[in-house]
Structures are given as C-alpha cells and as structure tokens.
Chain A
Amino acid sequence: MNIVVCIKQVPDIEAPARLEGGELKPDMSRMVLNAYDASAVEAALVLTEKHGGEVSLLLAGPESASETIRKALAMGAHRALHIVTDISPDEMDSANSAILLAEALKKMEFDFVFCGKQSQDSDAGLAGAMIAQKLGVPFVGNATALEWSEEELVVTRQDDRGRERIALPSPGLVTCSNDMNEPRIAGLRGIMQAKSKPLETTPVSELGLSAAELKARTVVRSVEEKPGRQAGVKLEGEPEELVREMFRLLPEEYLNE
C-alpha cells in the first residue's frame, strides 16, 4: 500500500505572534510541521510498517519549508516531493494550495492520500476535500482511526454527533484528526537517515497551471487581536469558603434556566 501524505509548514501556534498594521507576523523562526499532518504521517507509517508499502510526502511551499520535510522524513517516510513556490503566504489559500497538491498527485502513484484535517494556523479544513474532488476519488473527513482489511481501508470518522466506520477502496483520500495517534519523535538514527532520503523538488511552473488557477480565491483583509478576556477573581482558601464565595459572586441568572 503506497500512501502520499500532504504536509504543510505552519507557525507554531504557541509561539508569540505580533500584529503590525493589521498584518499577522508569526515568529518565522518557529515554523513547524502542522500537528494534524504529523498525525497523518504517523498513521501512514503505522499502516505501511504493518502491511508493507511506502510513504511519500508532498508539500507545496517556499524553499525554507524543506526543513519541515526533513523532519517528517526523519519520522520514517521514504521520500518526498517539494513543490517550490514563491507565492507569499498571504496569497496562498485552501483553493490554490489544493490545486497545486492535486496537480502533483495526478502525476504520482498512490493507493491513498492522507492529509491533516485542517491546518493549525488557519483552521480552515477545506484543502483535503478540495483535493479529493479534483482527483475524483472518494474521501472520508476527520478520521480518528484507520485499519487495513481485505484490500480496503477501514476508517473511523468522528462526526459532530457520533462515529461512523467506513470502508474506503483505493484510490481514496482521508483527512486525519490529531486524536488518531501520538506522532513519533524522530530519533538520531532517523534524522541521519533522512539526510540521504530522496527529496525531489519541482518549481510550480512545471505543473503547467495557469495564473488564474494559481490565484487565491479568498483574501485576508486584516487580522485583529481577539477582544481579550479579563481574568476575574481567583479564590484561594478552604473549600467551604471557596464554594460560599463562588455562590456569592456568581450572578444568579447563570444558574437559572
């Protein structure tokens, strides 16, 4: 079973980020593998380790994103393709990212494509479904568990209300939740091996896409600080006092129907 995992380099959401004239300036020294994609890589590795096959990585992004690719290779993926774009992050949205990735996927051989269910910076969660639609393959979103059974991938999907178990034939696409697993931390051996693993790069121009196709469909006009929440009162002391004080301070209306 050969799996292509689409990955993205994103700012660490726990790192400080500042606003400058309505523009978000994340800490560029703290760019990381999207946490949801890390779960997708882990899931692909677990499946291929058990049932055979190879894991390829696919990333569209600036040259500097190769660092993130090496990290995912160090986890154990076999090879990677880096579509090198000089499109600025502001000009990239789900739509043109999905077009780039889908176009590259059309030229790759795979049984399944795994994506993170969303990107931890934008939380849009559109790209996976967009890619599946462009490739014309069935897809399952928000997978929380995967097993391989008689030539099909059995996907457990978490919905807002309940869960479904779905059999997905090849070729198909799955978007992965980070609840699926705990992504492995690459060891020294993996990091050393990653240096010699094939990392192919291709410029966007070689994909043969038109300027219109490469244009973002949505615009971020500005970014603002979310209206902050003030810390209220912090009560310390004996439990009896705390509870008494809480009932005194908590407006009655919040307890009523």
Chain B
Amino acid sequence: MSEWVVVCLDSRDGEISASTLSWVRECQSRAQQAGYQTGALVIGPGSKERIEKLEGAGLSRIWRVQSEALESPLNAPHLQAIEQALRTIAPKAAVFPSSESSREMLGALASALDAPALPDLVSYSFTEEGAEGKRPVMASRFLARVSADGTPVLLSVRPGSSTAPPAGGPVPLPEPEIIEVKHPDRDRTARLLEQLMPDGQRTNLAEAEKIVAAGRGVRDPEGVQLIEELAGLLNASIGASRALTESGVFDPSLQIGQTGKVVSPRLYIAVGISGAIQHVAGMINSDFIVAINRDPDAPIFDIADIGLVGDLYKILPLLIEELKKRGGDG
C-alpha cells in the first residue's frame, strides 16, 4: 500500500497561482525522495477551477470537498471539512501553505487529530517517522531545526521558499475523488457579520516580485502619491510598515513584518522605513534591497544592498522621472 503526502489547498487561502504550483511541485519532489506519493486536497468553493490549475504538479491523486457551508470564510466549517477529509485519506503528512488562515487551522487540526504540527517552515523533508525542517524564530534572527514524529504530521510551509525543478512534461491530472463531509449543527457558533476586502491590489503581497514599502517617513498624501507612482512605474506591489497601517494610511493587509506578511520579492524598495527588527523579520529574504532614509544610522542600511541617505521627498521624484525616461526609451 502506498503512503500519501497531502497538500491542503483551502479556498480561504485564495487562488492557485504560479507560485502555489511550484510550491506543490516542491512538496511532490520532497515526498518522492522519502518514497511517498503526493495528492492534493482541494477544499471549498471554486474547487473545480482551482484543480485545473494544478496540471503539471505531478499529483497522483486529487480529493475534492465542496459543500455549501464552505462558502463561509469562518474557520469552523473549513476545519470540519479538512479534519474529516484527513481522517478519510489517512496520510503520512498534510502540508499547508503558510498563511494567517492556515496557522489557526494547523493548531485546531493538531488538537482534533492528536497530531504534531510544525508551522511556518522555510525548508523541510519527510522522514520515516514524520517530518523535519527549519523555521525562523526570535523575529527571524535565528533558524531552528525542528522535527516531529507522528501520523499525520501537519506542516505549514512558506510560499516562495521553493526551489522545485520544472515539471518533466505535462502530467495528466487524475480524476478528482469527491469526499463528502458533514457539518454538524451547533447552537453556539460564530456568525459572519460582514466581509471587507481592500481595493484590489495586482498581486498577493506574499508572492510579489517587486515591492515598494512605505514607512513612517512617508508622512502625508503627497508621500503616499509618490509611493503609488513609483510602484506603478515598476509594476510593483505596495507594502507598508506597521506605523503606516496602524495610522490608517495603508490597509492592514499591506503590513509587512513579524505581525503582518512575510515577503520575499526579487526587489524590495524600503522608503522611509527605519528597519525595526519586527519589520526586517518580514522582508529579510528579499533578493535585492534598496533603502531610502534620511537617518544615516537607520538599521535598514545594515541589510540594504543599496542605501540612499536623504530626503525621500527629494529622491522619489527624481527616481520617478528617471524611470519615466527609461520607460519612454523602451
């Protein structure tokens, strides 16, 4: 009998993008190294369309759970569905993309299934008894090598930490198998009052290739406009430090740092960000960091590849002008 590693793709975690796909491939290749087969558990509304995007991921089986109750973004129905599906599939390991939603899912499932959980891994492998991997601790100043034995072992793995090779030719998708789940009625349960989505940003910040991030130094609408213009010209996503999301200048979903999103773009431009340890924890894995700050002693310069010491209100307009010129040339 073959043993399974299951990647859990819940609708609460959003669409299946190119980076999700390479994340799934990575998992498939790690499972294969340990002698396991990989299947995907696709949960919630739009599961049919999301499954189509998994072509080429090298999956051997696909399980699909769709029920009306899963239209809700609340955790309870999703938790019930994943718990029941994992009991049915009985895998060696279940792997979740690391996100705000999967974090709480992992804890609740660990209790419900009496299974060990390793959250927020940046690298991992499967072992005979369970799994091991590395995760950042102490605001990403250190990496801890962690392991857990048990079945199933539950992992969440950060996106963007993938080095998966391209798939060897198209692999046909297996026919999805439907898993029926029950949603027991509870008299005392959480109720959704409203769902508030921020004005659409081009890309999910965690997957963005380029990010222009604004900090406390960006202090008025003029500064915000400069950030938006720069991001627009670079086709970059906008991020912010806690100071600017807390004061309401930017939407909380744009916060980068220990509390907010962890990002790993190719280019990160930190504007008016001093580089507090909590912020750095969220962006230290960027490929190339440019920092603009008036304070020559700002800690952001200790990690920046290029640091510009100066007034952002003078530097950004020049930067924007230069980019426009280049855009015009090309």
Contact = CB atoms under 8 A, between A and B. Distances in A.
A and B: bona fide binding partners: yes
Interface of A: 11, 13-14, 17, 19, 24, 26, 94-95, 98, 118, 120-130, 132-134, 138-142, 144, 154, 158-172, 175, 177-179, 217-226, 229, 231-237, 239-240, 242-243, 246-247, 249-251, 254-255, 257
A225 B142 contact: yes
A17 B111 contact: no
B306 A172 contact: no
A175 B124 CA distance: 27
Nearest to B278: A13
A222 B142 contact: no
B137 A164 contact: no
Given A130-B111, A217-B116, A218-B117, A255 B142 contact: no
B194 A158 contact: no
Contacts, number: 261
A235 B315 CA distance: 12
Nearest to A227: B143
Contacts of A243: 308, 315, 318-319, 322
Contact of B193 (A121, A154, A221): A154
Nearest to A167: B191
Contact of A125 (B76, B107, B287, B289): B107
A250 B192 CA distance: 47
A contacts with B: majority SS? mixed
Nearest to B119: A124
Interface string B79-116: 00000000000000000000111011111101110001
Nearest to B298: A234
A161 B107 contact: no
A123 B100 CA distance: 12
A179 B196 contact: no
Interface stretch (B36-44, B144-152, B160-168, B220-228): B144-152
A179 B255 contact: yes
A140 to B, nearest CB: 6
Given A179-B255, A250-B288, A242 B132 contact: no
B107 A133 contact: yes
Given A94-B117, A141-B75, A255 B190 contact: no
A121 B242 CA distance: 19
Nearest to B191: A167
B75 A139 contact: yes
Contacts of B303: 229, 231
A10 B308 CA distance: 36
A257 B235 CA distance: 8
Contacts of B46: none
Contacts of A161: 14, 197-198, 204, 253
Given A121-B137, A179-B246, A250-B288, 5 more contacts: A19-B142, A126-B107, A166-B74, A236-B296, A240-B318
A162 B198 contact: yes
B318 A239 contact: yes
B253 A162 contact: yes
A251 B290 CA distance: 12
B145 A223 contact: yes
B252 interface: yes
A175 B104 contact: yes
A235 B138 contact: no
Contacts of A142: 100, 104
B199 to A, nearest CB: 10
A220 B142 CA distance: 12
Nearest to A154: B193
B139 interface: yes
